[in-house]
Amino acid sequence: MAGDMAGMTDTACAAGLEVLRTGPLTTVQDSGRIGHASLGIGRSGAADGVSYALANRLLANPPGAAALEVTLGGLAVRTRGAVTVAITGAPGPITVDGRGAAMHAAMNTVLHLPDGAQLRLGTPTRGLRAYVAVRGGIDVPPVLGSRSTDTLAGLGPDLPAPGDVLPVGAPPAEFPVLDHAPVPAVPGDEIDLRVAPGPRDDWFHPGALEALFGHAFEVTGRSDRVGARLAGPELRRAKHEELPSEGMVPGSLQIPPAGDPVLFLADHPVTGGYPVIAVVVAADLPRAAQARPGTRLRFRPWRAPGARPR
Amino acid sequence: MRVLSCADAGVLIEVADLDEVLALHGALSEDPPPGVAEVVPAARTVMVRLAEDGDAAAVAAAVRRLRPRAVRPDSVDEAEIEVDYSGADLADISAHTGISERDVVAAHTGAVWTVAFCGFAPGFGYLVGGDPRLDVPRRAEARTRVPAGAVALAGRFTGVYPRSSPGGWQLLGHTDAVIWDLERDPPGLLRPGMRLRFREA
């Protein structure tokens, strides 16, 4: 393959993506902002870290290159210069047009786009979040070492808006080794998630864990990058005093006194004041981040390898 | 000390009081055991967030072996900030506490406050150690916009809003001190363990 030619097109001019439409929510995300939690700043970063990382791997980008996280489709961009992109995550229709007839393109594939091409993402058929990575990464200025927008803290790059031109960084030295990656299907209407009880399961009535494991919880429309708000059976509390604020991790299932449980995702608050009945294991969080409103979540008990029974 | 697990993502350590929180946070930040990504102090707990390859059981064991010493007063950062005590809720604070507005100001300036932890918004510090008479509830309804630099009270805490945001704390006054500045390293003026005095402008 003509690596030199690809190199020439890559570096021909400063490339960019001109935003035409963003859909319900498009943000720039990378692998997150680490090292500032004690100042009250969370990690943020791509909500589905597995799909995000795959998009960068397909393009031979270094891990942590910034990409676009597109919620429920609707993104349209026009290329400035020739760019190479990969789209992963929630599958949906992708069209590329420009000077000729519109063509459909595939997910999880390396796509070479000429200058002036229009790339459009339709509404996903399953899942919630797609990732559009570009070879060289989205090169907006980092904030505290990261190009992630933390929607709760209001930190990081501005939300892309129509008319913006997002700069694309210099292409990496490596070249893609695959054209296409086989991926497991993004989960559909029902998602199983493994959770470990705690750290505050003792604040709940003994029946609450039974209810957690025995029933499905539906993701409601009030869900965002902070968390998936869930509707389901009441998880009754045994202790009713106020919990002093304490640190939270992604995957925490926080239960406010009256209201929907919240499954914390990428932009969750660093500390919280409601008890956490259980935490989703880290490996299952990317699938949780693909749960669109109406999805049913089923929680399965998980115990750390080698842990003593509680 | 009670060690609670958060699946494979973290270890939550519950201690007796804020002094123990600060001592443990100091020990963990100075010499983090392998597998620790971040440490989040709070009112009575320290959350240890695990790195991707972190082993919760090993980190919990390492935390139990730690012997955190009390923070030495001479190693603590101190700062003083000037406050214009003309906040919108000063009269309400006086009514809640049963002391005059002048005495509220005297109590707030008379204490050495300690940053217990940060949260709510980037750079927002929860300060403790003030005069116990200054214990006031949050406002029944949060304001949609509290200006940057607002100095406020809630519960046994005081705090300074780093930037304009919604907020339910009782507004005591205003400072021109820059609490949050992305061009500064670190960007937040207030860091856990730091001591602060307020002076009337």
Which residues in chain B touch residue A246, judged by CB atoms under 8 angstroms apart?
12, 42-45, 47
Question: What are the residue boundaries of the structural domains of chain B, listed by start?
Answer: 2-73, 76-200
Q: DSSP code of A161?
A: -
Q: Does domain B76-200 have CATH number 2.40.100.10?
A: yes
Helix orientation angle between B101-110 and B90-97, rounded to the nearest 10 degrees = 90
A15-36 average pLDDT score: 96
**Token pair belonging to A45:** 């970063």
**Contact criterion met (CB < 8 Å) for B47 and A248:** yes
* A/B interface, count of CB pairs below 8 Å: 129
Strands lying side by side in the sheet with A103-105 = A103-105, A94-97, A118-121, A75-80, A16-22, A165-167
**B79 pairs with which residues across the strands?**
B196
- Say how far apart CA B187 and CA B170 lie, in whole Å: 25
**Measured between CA atoms, how close is A16 to chain B, in angstroms?**
26
Which chain B residues contact residue A304 at CB under 8 A? Answer: 5, 7-8, 56-57
Q: What is the pLDDT of residues B23-56, one digit of tens each?
A: 999 899 888 999 999 999 998 999 999 998 899 9
- Residue A248 touches chain B, beta carbons under 8 Å: yes
pLDDT band at B119 (very low <50, low <70, confident <90, very high): confident
> Could you tell me how far CA A151 lies from the centroid of its own chain?
12
Residue A139 has pLDDT above 90, yes or no: yes
Rounded mean pLDDT of A211-219? 97
B41–A38 CB contact, under 8 Å: yes
Three-class secondary structure of residue A84 per DSSP: strand
* H or E element in which residue B96 lies: helix B90-97
Q: Which residues pair with A300 in a beta bridge?
A: A194
Select the more confidently predicted residue: B119 or A52: A52
Which of A270, A277, A284, A300 to probe the B interface (max B CBs under 10 A)?
A270
Q: Which residue of B6, B29, B125 is in closest CB contact with A249?
A: B6
**Per-residue pLDDT, A8:** 45
The structure tokens listed for B128 are 């403790």
Are A126 and A186 spatial neighbours (Cβ–Cβ below 8 Å)?
yes
The length of chain A is: 310
Q: Cβ of A247 and B123 within 8 Å?
A: no
Q: Is residue A305's pLDDT more than 80?
A: no
Interface of chain B against chain A, CB under 8 Å?
4-10, 12, 25, 29, 37-47, 49, 52, 56-57, 117-126, 182, 186-188, 191-192
pLDDT tens digits, one per residue of B148-185: 999 999 988 999 999 888 888 999 999 999 999 988 88
Q: Using the CB atoms, write b or e for A175-194: b if 16+ within 10 Å.
A: bbeeeeeeeeebbeeebebb
| Strand-pair category, A83-89 with A110-113 | antiparallel
Q: Tell me how long chain B is.
A: 201
Class of B2-73 per CATH? alpha beta
Looking at residue A1, its pLDDT comes to 38
Best-predicted range by mean pLDDT (A177-191, A214-228, B26-40, B173-187): A214-228
| Residue in A34, A250, A269 nearest the CB of B9 | A250
- Record the tokens describing residue A53, joined without a space: 């990382």
pLDDT value at A310 more than 60: no
The Cα A67–Cα A48 span in angstroms is 12
So what's the pLDDT on residue A260?
81
